[in-house]
Amino acid sequence: MSFKVQGWCPGALRPMASGDGLVVRVRPPSGRLTEMQASGIAEGAQRYGNGVIDLSGRANVQIRGVTAETHAPLIATLRKLDLIDADVAAETRRNIIVTPFADAKTYRLAEALQHALGDAPALPGKFGFILDCGAAPVMADVQADIRFERAVDGTLLVRAAGCDLGAPVPEDEAAEAALALAHWFTQAGGVIDGRGRMAQLIATGARPEGQLAPVIAPASAQSQAQSQARTQPVPGIVKQGALVAVAFGQIDADTLGALAALGPLRVTPWRMILIERLTWMPNLPGLITDPTDPLLRVHACTGAPGCLQAHGPTRDLARCLAPHLPEGKTLHVSGCAKGCAWPLPADLTLVATPSGLSVIRDGRASDTPETAAISPSEPRHISEFF
Ligand code: SF4
């Protein structure tokens, strides 16, 4: 393995050092930002960071280029906006992704879960929750340990990752059920040396029992069976507002500030932002609003020099290759085998290594390359890879 597994995620109170300074990760409560919160993040990124903001695959917002000196005043600014938890433990526990197409019931559950997590057992740093219980499932491909989903008839389910089935729960007892499942995870031996994931525990044959026993399939199982090629949402007008994307999840502070002026924002795990109640597509620098833009099918992590683990740059190459990507195909350019930008297989994955770019077809960045590494100074036309 040629990359370092941290076992924890950066937060706001515990930022991670990167090649362009500290990365301060803000977890918007329930995945939402008021106009004031979003414009405060944009101003904070300009004043205390380098003006570059990442939308992460965990529906978080990362302010880049923060220094040891500017971290404290940035946190003070964000705290006034109710974006900072009481301490690192609370920040780490609040690892919740909410569907951006949530209804009022789902937001009530998100708040109840956030509150209930104060009584959660000691969980691994990456242990997370997903509320994919809107009108239709949209986050089957997004990883989490405990999931809220709906059965075909609308029944709310709590499901342990790795189980095909979930347990039905009354809406007003759902947060406590998730907490009970988290306790079951720790008591069943899910945590070893502070690490562990629910799917790993389920793979050993362990199953929750009683009211948490898995008995009903989520609706996502049916839609998965019907469509092998699941697709993520694309930019456009939806019932809740306007959905816009940014290439590689990177947005500059000016554009975020301009979006904040249009309405409250919802962040997504697809490096898109939903502007609530907006009925037209904004035309701002850096936004992708065309649902057929090939950049939507290209993933690229920070790469060099922004990431200290990168063996080479990524995004310039990804931008060059995007227009040549055959229709329907996906491309992932990764600075190392960790594959932060896209944990799933892509049609073509190029991974920077000390000896050049390794090429993986139909796989993940961590898979064994099919061919010897190619030199980044001898670019080949992308059609050669298909
Ligand atoms: S995948 Fe990219 S961002 Fe992640 S550690 Fe490797 S180089 Fe850094």
For residue 3 and ligand 1, the question of a CB distance below 6 A is answered with yes
> Which CATH number belongs to the domain containing residue 27 in this structure?
3.90.480.10
Say yes or no: CB of residue 303 within 6 Å of ligand 1: yes
Q: To 10 degrees, the CA torsion angle through 42, 45, 51, 54? A: -80
**Could you tell me if the CB of 340 is within 6 A of ligand 1?**
yes
Structure tokens at 137: 């499932």
User: What residues does 157 pair with on adjacent strands?
Assistant: 149, 168
Better pLDDT: 373 or 163: 163
Q: What CATH number did the domain enclosing 349 receive?
A: 3.30.413.10
* 28 close to ligand 1 (CB < 6 Angstrom): no
pLDDT > 60? residue 229: no
pLDDT at 228: 45
Asked if residue 93 belongs to a domain, the reply is: no
Are 206 and 188 in contact, with CB atoms under 8 Å apart?
A: yes
Q: Domain range for residue 304?
A: 294-385
Alpha helices in the chain (DSSP H): 35-48, 68-80, 88-93, 104-116, 174-187, 198-203, 219-226, 253-260, 315-321
Q: Is the CB of 334 under 6 A from ligand 1?
A: yes
331, exposed or middle or buried, with CB in 10 Å at 0-12, 13-18, 19+? buried
User: From atom 6 of ligand 1, which residue's Cα is the shortest distance away?
Assistant: 336
pLDDT at residue 5, rounded to an integer:
55
User: Looking at the structure, do residues 210 and 278 belong to the same domain, yes or no?
Assistant: no
Average pLDDT, the chain: 93
Q: Is the CB of 106 under 6 A from ligand 1?
A: no
Same domain, yes or no, for 69 and 105? no
The answer on 142 and 181 residing in a single domain is yes
Q: Do 78 and 105 lie in a common domain?
A: no
Q: Are residues 136 and 156 in the same domain?
A: yes
DSSP SS3 for 1: coil
Residue 231 lies in a domain: no
Instruction: Specify whether 57 is located in the same domain as 149.
Output: no
- The angle formed by the CA atoms of residues 71, 75 and 79, to the nearest 5 degrees, is 175
Mutate to test the pocket of ligand 1, among 56, 58, 302 (most ligand atoms within 8 A of CB): 302
Closest ligand 1 atom, CA of 341? 1
User: Is the pLDDT confidence value at 321 over 50?
Assistant: yes
The sign of the dihedral angle between the CA atoms of 45, 50, 52, 57 is negative
In a domain, 92, yes or no: no
Q: Does position 203 have pLDDT exceeding 80, yes or no?
A: yes
**Average pLDDT of span 318-340:** 94
Tell me: do 271 and 311 sit in the same domain: no
Q: How many CB atoms lie within 10 A of CB 30?
A: 21
31 in a structural domain: yes
Last residue of a domain, one of 226, 248, 275: 226
- 10 pocket-lining for ligand 1 (C-beta < 6 Å): no
105 and 163 in a common domain: yes
Torsion of CA 277, 281, 287, 292, to 10 degrees: 120
Average pLDDT over residues 356-366: 93
Q: Identify the DSSP state of 36.
A: H
Integer Rg of the chain from CA: 21
- The pLDDT-based confidence of 3 (bands split at 50, 70, 90) is low
Indicate the residue among 271, 288, 305 that finishes a domain: 288
Question: Which tens digits make up the pLDDT trace of 17-39?
Answer: 999 999 999 999 999 999 999 99
Decide if 57 is inside a domain.
yes
338 CB within 6 A, ligand 1: yes
Q: Which atom of ligand 1 is nearest to the CA of 304?
A: 7
Whether residue 230 has pLDDT greater than 90? no
Chain segment 301-312, per-residue pLDDT in tens: 999 998 999 999
Please count the structural domains in the chain. Answer: 3
Give yes or no: residues 52 and 156 share one domain: no
- Is residue 132 assigned to a domain? yes
Q: In terms of domains, do 221 and 133 share one? A: yes
Kindly state whether residues 259 and 299 are assigned to the same domain.
no
Q: What is the pLDDT of residue 339?
A: 95
Helix (H) or strand (E) holding 134: none
Q: Please, which residues have CB within 8 angstroms of residue 179's CB and are 6 or more apart in sequence? A: 116, 117, 119, 120
Pairing of strands 129-131, 96-98: parallel
What single letter denotes the amino acid at residue 372?
A
Q: pLDDT tens digits for 246-295?
A: 999 999 999 999 999 999 999 999 999 999 999 999 999 999 999 999 99
Q: Which has the closest alpha carbon to 229: 330, 101, 365, 333?
A: 330
Give, for ligand 1, the residue of 18, 250, 301 to mutate: max count of ligand atoms closer than 8 Å to Cβ. 301
Residue 283, in any domain of the structure: yes
Helices 253-260 and 35-48: angle between axes, nearest 10 degrees? 160
* pLDDT score recorded for residue 135: 85
The answer, yes or no, to whether residue 6 has pLDDT greater than 80, is: no
pLDDT in tens, 43-99: 999 999 999 999 999 999 999 999 999 999 999 999 999 999 999 999 999 999 999
For residue 4, being part of any structural domain is answered with no
